[in-house]
Amino acid sequence: MSGSALLIITIILLAVVSFLVGVMLVFTGNKFKVEVDPKETAVRGCLPGNNCGACGYPGCDGLAAAIAKGDAPVNKCPVGGAAVAEKISAIMGVEAGSIDKKVAFVKCSGTCEKAYDNANYIGINSCGAAAAIPGKGTKMCQTGCLGLGECVSVCEFDAIHIVDGIAKVDRTKCVGCGKCASVCPQHLIEIIPDKQIYAVACASQEKGKATKAQCAAGCIGCKACTLVCDNNSIKVEDNIAHINYATCVQCGKCASKCPAKVIITRREAETA
C-alpha cells in the first residue's frame, strides 16, 4: 500500500472516530444533563457579578443557587443593595425586606503626624511584606496601619485610599464586601453598620504609657468611656475600647469623654 493511500485511510478513520465521539458526547450530555432551575438563572442575571464572596457564598453563582432554593434571603447581596434585592424579590415572589448597609472602617488614627516613626522601611511596597519582617515598616506602633495600600489594590469600587499614611474609606462608594478586611495583615479593617456614627479608631493593646510613646492618637485604656455610657455599650478589653454596635444609641458621650480622642465620628474617619 502506498504512502498516500495509507494517509487517506488514516484521515478517514480519524474523521469517523471523531464523528462517533461527538455523537456519544451529545448523547451523554443530554442523558445526564442537570436541569437548572429557571429562577436560579433569573436571579443570577440580577446579581452584579463581582464574585466578592461578601454574601458568604462561593461567588454569585453560589448565591443565586441558594436564593433559588430558599436557603438565602433575596437581600443577601451587599454589593447590589436594595435595587438588586427588589428585582430578585419579584422573581422569587417574596418581600425584599430591609437592608442594613455595612461599610468598612479602619481602626487606626496613626497619621504621619500622630504616629511616631521607628525606622525607614525599604522593601516591597506591600503591607503583607512589611508585616512579615521585624519592626513592621516605619511606625513604632506594631498594630497600626502600615500605609502601603494592599487594601487599596483589592477594592473594586475605588472606596479606600491611603491618606496621610493610613487607609481611609469613602463610605459613599464602599459596599461592605470585606475584601480590604481580608487582605489587611494587621486585621485593622472591620465591617460595621453604615448607620453607626461612632467607632474606635485604634487597635493597640499596649498599656497607656507605651501607647502614648508610640502614637499621639492611641487608646490608653483608661475606661473613661465606659463610665459615661448609660447602656453598657462600650467596654475596655486588653487595653482597647470596643463598641457594641447592636446596642449603641449614638449619644456620643464616650467620644466627648475620651482623653485620647480615638473614639471618633465616621465623618472624621472618611476620605475628603
* Long-range CB pairs of 171-177, under 8 A, 24+ apart, other chains included: 171/103, 171/104, 171/266, 171/270, 174/103, 174/104, 175/54, 175/78, 175/79, 175/81, 175/103, 176/54, 176/78, 176/101, 176/102, 176/103, 176/104, 177/50, 177/52, 177/53, 177/54, 177/78, 177/79
102-269: CATH topology is: Alpha-Beta Plaits (3.30.70)
Q: Is the pLDDT at 147 greater than 70, yes or no?
A: yes
User: Greatest CA span in the chain, whole angstroms?
Assistant: 101
User: What is the arithmetic mean of pLDDT over 68-81?
Assistant: 89
Q: Which pTM does this prediction carry?
A: 0.76
Superfamily of domain 38-92: Electron transport complex subunit B, putative Fe-S cluster (1.10.15.40)
What the block records as the C-alpha cell of 38 is 429557571
Comparing 29-38, 74-83, 99-108, 128-137, the range with the smallest average pLDDT is: 29-38
> Domain residue spans in the chain?
38-92, 102-269
